[in-house]
Amino acid sequence: MRSASDRLFDACNVVLMTLVAIVTVYPFLNVLAISLNESLDTVRGGIYLWPRKFTLANYEAIFSFGGLLVGLRNSVLRTVIGAVLGVFSASMLAYALSRRDFSARRPISVFLALTMYFSGGLIPTYILMRDLGLLGTFWVYVLPGLVNAFNVFVVRSYIDGLPFALQEAAKMDGASDWTIYWRVVLPLSKPVLATIALFVAVGQWNSWFDTYLYNGSEEHLTTLQYELMKVLQSTMTGNEQSYRGRNMTEVMATVSPESVKMAITIVVTVPILFVYPFLQRYFVKGMTLGAVKS
Amino acid sequence: MKLDFKRSALLLLASVLALSAAACGKSGDDGKTTTDSGASSPSPSTGAQADNTPITFTFFSSDPSPNWNNMQDEVGKVITEKTGVTLKAEFSTGNEDKVALIAASGNYPDLISPKNGASLLVNAGALLDLTELIEKHAPNLKKVYGPYMKRLRWSNEDPSIYILPTYAGVNHTAFDEGGVFHLQHAVVKELGYPQIRTVKDFENAIRQYKEKHPTIDGQPTIGLSLIADNWRIMISVTNPAFFATGASDDGEYYIDPKTYEAKLHYRRPEEKEYFRWLNHLNAIGLLDPESFVQKEDQYKAKIASGRVLGLIDATWGFADAVNSLKAAGKFERTYGHYPVTLNESFKAANLQDTGFMAGWGVGITKSCKDPVRAIKFLDWLASEEGQILINWGIEGKHYKVENGKRVIPPDVLEKKTNDAANFARTTGIGLYNLLSAHYGDGVKDSTGNYFTTNFPEQIQAGYSPIEKEVLAAYGKTTWKDFFPPASEFPVKPWGAAWNIPVDSDSELNVLFKKTQEIVWKRIPQVILAKPEEFDKLWDEFMKDLIDAGVEKQEKLYTELVKARVKLWNE
């Protein structure tokens, strides 16, 4: 029999969580509604959850630009490859750093930590990529960000939390370092790996600046986000820069930048949302993990 | 101990590395300067036909061009056929970040359109001086720029030509003028088309109509709404002050036409009276109380509801909302444009001529494989043949010549309007306009046709019936007819002050930022104050500006204006 205070707690909990859910979902629905509404009508305001004058014109405007399909392919590739390799690299390094018998763990940790606070700056980084021969290649999307210090530390803390006895036991059974990593540590770390896979995947999916910097002229290496960025820029009028030379850019009369922006937001958000369900089961598993401990 | 030492040495080394890298990053940004250069205009001529062997030039542009089709479009193919040139182009997203990388890395494309990044390239020594190339190989460019060749020079210290201004059209004459003061057609119509010449006329029209119609479509009528969302305050609140007092657009400055002394324009005593008038409008309740808090979308939503009688803004600032009104069939709620000034002694100078506004454009870099072919390519684009091709397309395909007049057939026009992106991608019309010098609207070629596809008849054809009715009632044919013509004003020898580049390391930037902050804070304050407090607050405002160093700022700017006058005219 549950006490009254328990039920009160539940009630508050439900109400609060519902509010949080609404606050989270509403902006998204609003964007969706605006993206499906005629832009001339949107100007009048008052679009909340449902489009007033339904149209797909905003999406048509986006997809009438070339390069989106190639961009989509590259974005998917970099997301998948980047996430797999990123998780793999981060977990390997994290495992090594978690081993107390690894003598260089302190200096390497410090070195890693430094990269979280300092960067080479735009131009030196660009020159480095050039000298590494990465300009104009697909790998410039994956390799430079392969090992992310923050992700490594997250995984290491998690591995530190695993009972070391498991590793010792494996070792006594004759397992090599690799086997311990692959057969013991990795399977136990699934929740944290899912987490950073998500970080990396979302980061990869959303990034456009590296395309712009390194592969701006390589059409076959363009990414979805970069193409959409260009679409957005080309529909922007009346901003401070172009207002002096209004004749410079042709105005797209039928769709407004606002509506295009909303449609783009939907186009870039929805695909990555599909990643969540796949990773979700690992989060759930993570919660039961403690129980297995002997 | 020893280990500790090692560790700290390593740490030190690492941080030194990191810091020096960071410092490098910074120094890369140093010496960023803002430069405007842009000029263009078409000139008729069929460039010398010479070397047409295929050549590929790399090209970088700071502006996006999402419909670029690697010159596989119809116009692009003709360009390649005529000049042998194919461009391998990269289009940026509209900012100049990447120009800094290009300048620092030394990987220059053959041709580059760097916008404000030009000074980075010039400082890096990346751009060729085009003076001689133009002299020897570019008769069309010379013809198009004509008397404005002086405006192509970089600076008084370095008179080289690094950039061919390609953004502005030479001798561009707008066929219509929107001004900054706007009244709903319904207002003037109901009041029997009163003269709208001074701010008092403007105010009276709004007041009388609002008294008769306290609500429109069930919502409270708003007399006048302004927009002060971020930089829009300059367009809707401060710029109109100089327009209302007979000055033309020099950005935040007023330039004395005789001495070239620059002054923050709100410091002119005349403009104080303009702000006093706004203050008065607020006091009598005609000014929308949300003017200084509303965001752009709220502003547009209000206008699109049709209940804002008067606006003070640039026409593009509310074009979306007007389109929305038209789509809803509320044509009487769209706006007419009037040459309003503070009193009859001022003459609205909106149409005052700046001359050709050299600025952003295209340069040829040191890495260019064949600068002569490059300049000849740009020259061909500037020829009459080239410009007609770029603007109109291919004869027989995209336009016809009927009785000596170029006409766009209805089916082509239909595609151009309703399927714009596809049209641009397949035909290439509109993709090559910013590559070379070109004439602006209103300039005619050797056959008496306009170079651009805009012509005055279009403007009138685009007016709605009520717009025509209002214009007819005032005895005008276009809104431009309301405004004193350019011929009544001298040409400004400095062009326009807003187009004068300021070095990024100049003290001017800091002073400008400081004084702008004061302006953006104080202007709303004085307008919303009680009328009896206006003078006191205005004096405080002026004093704040002086304390912030406005006099020094104006002195520095005056030097720039004088240098510009010298560069462009001597």
Domain ranges for chain B? 55-173+356-453, 181-350+463-499
The Cα B558–Cα B273 span in angstroms is 25
* Residue of B24, B176, B302 to mutate, testing the A interface (most A Cβ within 10 Å of its Cβ): B24
Point out the residue among A40, A107, A117 whose CB comes nearest to the CB of B10.
A107
The Cα B220–Cα A222 span in angstroms is 51
Point out the residue among B14, B167, B499 whose CB comes nearest to the CB of A114.
B14
- List the 203-262 stretch of B: residues with Cβ below 8 A of A: 231, 235
In this prediction, residue B240 carries a pLDDT of 95
User: pLDDT of B465-477, one tens digit each?
Assistant: 999 999 999 999 9
B314 interaction partners in chain A (CB closer than 8 Å): 243
At A182, the amino acid letter reads W
Reading the block at residue B54, the tokens are: 């295929």
The Cα B144–Cα B140 span in angstroms is 6
Q: How far is B503 from chain A (nearest CA, A)?
A: 17
B324 interaction partners in chain A (CB closer than 8 Å): 40-41, 43-44
The Cα B199–Cα B274 span in angstroms is 9
Residue B147: half-sphere exposure toward Cβ, Cα within 13 Å? 6
Same domain? A29 vs A160: no
Same domain? A223 vs A254: yes
The Cα B242–Cα B253 span in angstroms is 9
Point out the residue among A67, A118, A234 whose CB comes nearest to the CB of B22.
A118
Asked whether the beta carbons of residue B434 and residue A244 sit closer than 8 angstroms, the reply is no
Same domain? A78 vs A214: yes
Q: How far is A283 from chain B (nearest CA, A)?
A: 37
Chains A, B: CB pairs < 8 Å: 156
DSSP reduced 3-state for B363: strand
User: Between B100 and B215, whose confidence is greater?
Assistant: B215
pLDDT band at B4 (very low <50, low <70, confident <90, very high): very low
* CATH code of the domain containing A199: 1.10.3720.10
Q: Report the residue count for chain A.
A: 294
A217 interaction partners in chain B (CB closer than 8 Å): 58, 60, 88-90
A44 interaction partners in chain B (CB closer than 8 Å): 301, 304-305, 324, 328
- List the 20-79 stretch of B: residues with Cβ below 8 A of A: 21-22, 24-26, 28-29, 38, 58, 60, 63-67, 69-70
Q: How many of the other CB atoms lie within 10 Å of CB of B549?
A: 16
Same domain? A34 vs A62: no
The Cα A23–Cα B390 span in angstroms is 51
Q: Which CATH number fits domain B181-350+463-499: 1.10.20.140, 3.40.190.10, 3.40.50.2000, 3.30.70.20?
A: 3.40.190.10
Q: How far is B68 from chain A (nearest CA, A)?
A: 9
Q: Backbone dihedral region of A108: left (phi > 0), alpha (psi from -120 to 50 degrees) or beta?
A: alpha
The Cα A145–Cα B100 span in angstroms is 23
Least confident of A8-17, A278-287, B283-292, B504-513: A278-287
Provide the β-strand partners of residue B341. B198
User: pLDDT of B172-194, one tens digit each?
Assistant: 888 888 899 999 999 999 999 99
φ, ψ at B76 (rounded to 5°): -60, -40
Same domain? A35 vs A63: no
Same domain? A122 vs A35: no
User: pLDDT of B321-349, one tens digit each?
Assistant: 888 898 888 999 999 999 999 999 999 99
Same domain? A207 vs A245: yes
pLDDT band at B82 (very low <50, low <70, confident <90, very high): very high
Instruction: Give whichever of B19-28, B200-209, B452-461 has the largest mean pLDDT.
Output: B200-209
Asked whether the beta carbons of residue A245 and residue B167 sit closer than 8 angstroms, the reply is yes
Q: How far is B530 from chain A (nearest CA, A)?
A: 32
Select from B308, B344, B304 the least CA-distant residue to B327. B304
In this prediction, residue A288 carries a pLDDT of 44
Same domain? A45 vs A60: no
* Residue of A115, A128, A248, A264 to mutate, testing the B interface (most B Cβ within 10 Å of its Cβ): A248
The Cα B180–Cα B512 span in angstroms is 24
Same domain? A42 vs A157: no
A65 interaction partners in chain B (CB closer than 8 Å): 66-67, 421
Q: How many of the other CB atoms lie within 10 Å of CB of B446?
A: 9
Same domain? A230 vs A101: yes
DSSP reduced 3-state for A288: helix
B295 interaction partners in chain A (CB closer than 8 Å): none
Same domain? A88 vs A138: yes
In this prediction, residue A188 carries a pLDDT of 87
Asked whether the beta carbons of residue A258 and residue B26 sit closer than 8 angstroms, the reply is no
Instruction: Please report, in angstroms and rounded to a whole number, the separation of the first and last CA atoms in chain A.
Output: 32
The Cα B174–Cα B153 span in angstroms is 26
Point out the residue among B15, B22, B65 whose CB comes nearest to the CB of A121.
B22
Asked whether the beta carbons of residue B94 and residue A236 sit closer than 8 angstroms, the reply is yes
Range of the domain at A47: 1-54
For the domain made up of B55-173+356-453, give the CATH fold: D-Maltodextrin-Binding Protein; domain 2 (3.40.190)
Q: How many of the other CB atoms lie within 10 Å of CB of B216?
A: 20
A41 interaction partners in chain B (CB closer than 8 Å): 324, 327
Give the C-alpha distances (Å, rounded to integers) separating B470 from B73, B276, B310. Answer: 44, 30, 16
State the average pLDDT over residues A93-116: 91
Point out the residue among B24, B420, B421 whose CB comes nearest to the CB of A124.
B24
In this prediction, residue B443 carries a pLDDT of 92
Number of domains in chain A: 2
Point out the residue among B60, B101, B430 whose CB comes nearest to the CB of A122.
B101
* Residue of A106, A208, A233, A239 to mutate, testing the B interface (most B Cβ within 10 Å of its Cβ): A233
Same domain? A69 vs A5: no
Residue B358: closest CA among chain A residues belongs to which residue?
A245
Mean of the per-residue pLDDT values of chain B: 87
Instruction: Please report, in angstroms and rounded to a whole number, the separation of the first and last CA atoms in chain B.
Output: 73
User: pLDDT of B95-152, one tens digit each?
Assistant: 677 888 888 888 899 999 998 888 889 989 999 999 999 999 999 999 999 989 999 9
- List the 346-385 stretch of B: residues with Cβ below 8 A of A: none
In this prediction, residue A247 carries a pLDDT of 34
Q: How many of the other CB atoms lie within 10 Å of CB of B223?
A: 20
* Residue of A247, A261, A262 to mutate, testing the B interface (most B Cβ within 10 Å of its Cβ): A247
The Cα A67–Cα B179 span in angstroms is 40
* Residue of A40, A68, A219 to mutate, testing the B interface (most B Cβ within 10 Å of its Cβ): A40
Domains B55-173+356-453 and B181-350+463-499 are alike in CATH topology: yes
Give the C-alpha distances (Å, rounded to integers) separating A185 from A188, A230, A269, B385. Answer: 5, 44, 33, 72
